[in-house]
Structure 1
């Protein structure tokens, strides 16, 4: 059986095509496009016309690819940008008319569940863990162990949202930094209460920004590791902190020139770093690992 998974993120649209033979899973094709659906007015809950058109155009291209692979089943999921936008349903209808693809707009809870299932497939969960997925529109946290999901929640503090609201300086000023941290602190009260109760010892970062952190660390040590081809990557904590300090204090141009940062993340990686640092500090966690498997792998698991 061949399955196509489309993940419509706030920043990036992903297409993953896989084939199942018995219990084996083979990835046949994967790609992503920086659609930037949340560009401009995500905090006003609007998909602006240019982003709307980019999204429809991208899904037309995805559909052409899907036809080539003779797929048995398609599942397309939309997350924060679509579910919070006043014209999100208009976008879903426009895509259906243009391509025949039916988009399922999932809730934050469903998103967290699928992220958990994806990370679980990677083998990253070896003990009581806190999973964190930093998207453009929302950030999901999942507390789990090797047996079960214990607690999960989605928060509207994604990197694109915070960047549009607070990121007004270059390099990031102390004033902007404090405004971001104050906002995060107010939003994540129940997360910190949960972590105080359960005391997870490791943070698992789900793909996205954490792949960028891994790229920067491996390049720093001249390690020849293709991040996109591995399932997990355990960070040396001091290496992560060193990279984090550089990112927070860098200018836009300095980040542009850092090998390992894709153009889409040049500015948003600063927000992602601030959130990650704050969570590590508040939850008293000093171990960090990457799972390259995320929501789309969870969706794939749900189809097979």
Structure 2
């Protein structure tokens, strides 16, 4: 019986395994990855690597075992709903003990397009009859801090108005995932995970200006103008519209603070956005 982490070489998966290795022996952790070369650093740490792709049902059938606890990290591809169903089917066939899924803050109340695949996956897991835990992750702070070079040059651009964002860095969400994967008492529960405090994009721009010493402001655009900026930056139109939809959700309070499940699980306060900005500026 192992703790199996899918998408293990991605940004979140790598951090989850790092957090797990602080809690359990490496021989109890399995990393599922598409590329053996990319997964080599995990193997070097004593983690068993199994190669599978969410699109390859035959490979997925070989990566889970009876009694495993599995973390399904949500995919990024357009067909991720079908990919998730394939993982769920393989996990059910293998007889895993519990399936943990990285979902979206708010669960059924998340009424924006980016959330639809998450809600469909939650329902598919419920329909499977597998014991589950839903980690309903809020927005990652890195969604914004990864854009700091552009923000310093052009300002912060969006269409979220004065909507509030209770973000936390990936490391905090990874720590929560490790706690839930390793610990007891999480079966058939859903956790609403977000930062302890929330902030507006105006607040974010002001903090970035303060720390960088540059003149940075938030430019609140209409949804149509925001979409055009994203398309001009190279985003395909459907993806641009998804992000505009997220800003609409932010304006309506969907990614604001939903309690303190995250800090409770990790046993410490979540990392403030100011700290994530400082770390990004240091490089």
State the TM-score, normalized to the length of structure 2. Answer: 0.34
Instruction: Report the TM-score when normalising by structure 1.
Output: 0.32
